[in-house]
Amino acid sequence: MVQVKPRSLPHRHSNDHPHDQPNDHLSAPLMQNHFETPQEIQAQIYKELVRATHDRHHAWRTPVLATSATDGIPNARTVVLRTVNPAQNMGVSNSTPNNPGGTLEIYTDRRSPKVTELQQQPEACLVFWSAKLSWQLRVKVSVSIQTEGPYVESLWQTVKQTRAAGDYLGLLAPGQTLVADSEHVGSSLAPAEPDVHFAVLSAQINEIDWLELGRGQHRRARMGSLGNNTGWGWAWLQP
């Protein structure tokens, strides 16, 4: 891993999460000096991603997923980050040497246009921004779509107990044009046992472009295989 520091920073090592500090909303600018080395920054990125799956108020809980539409025009929409299987090289299990960046999971209706887009072009990008962290992530991913099997079934057994279950039980597909008032609500016509359209988008992380906005200086780095066949690497970039 290349570890060239773009500038020297005062070492203020801290494992504290910035959200845990008093006057949290005022403390964001302090964050940027806490993590200096590639290892520290990457570990914190994955910690924050995991945290976002548990914390409804974390800004990284709702990234934007950008895909290539079937006509070649980009498409993007907000989604909820449901699960993070962090990278092995972050010292956390659940990833394999073939998947050094780990995976992110999103739930969707399998009939939604994004699923068709991803079937045709699995390469996509997830964009996260947190004003509290002053960090943007642009995560390049390869997305696979899971619609059946024990894993999807076990997730659905949990999701179906929640209010969100209806998102995957609609009579009409997302984006379908409504032609009559009755279709607008649909519930009165809904069958007792509606079809389940629940799907899991499993996004394998190939590369992360990290940008930190600082008061005076910004920092930026790219991490991933970086095309040099040396495994997961790190490169500081001009912001």
Ligand X SMILES: Cc1cc2nc3c(=O)[nH]c(=O)nc-3n(C[C@H](O)[C@H](O)[C@H](O)COP(=O)(O)O)c2cc1C
Question: Are 78 and 71 a contacting pair, CB within 8 Å?
Answer: no
Q: CB of 184: closest distance to ligand X in angstroms?
A: 17
Nearer to ligand X, 21 or 83 (CB): 83
User: Measured from the CB atom, is 58 or 114 closer to ligand X?
Assistant: 114
Q: How far is the CB of 151 from ligand X (least distance, A)?
A: 17
Q: Supply φ then ψ for residue 158, to 5 degrees.
A: -80, -50
Minimum distance from residue 3 beta carbon to ligand X (Å): 36
For every residue of 50-90, DSSP letters joined together read HHHHH-TT-GGGSPEEEEE-TTS-EEEEE----EEE--GGG
* Smallest distance, ligand X to C-beta of residue 115, A: 7
CB–CB of 136/125 below 8 Å? no
- List residues near ligand X by CB under 6 A: 62, 75, 77-80, 106-109, 112-114, 174-175
CA-wise closest residue to 106 among 59, 153, 68, 155 = 155
| CB of 79 or CB of 137, closer to ligand X | 79
Shorter beta-carbon distance to ligand X: residue 137 or 201: 201
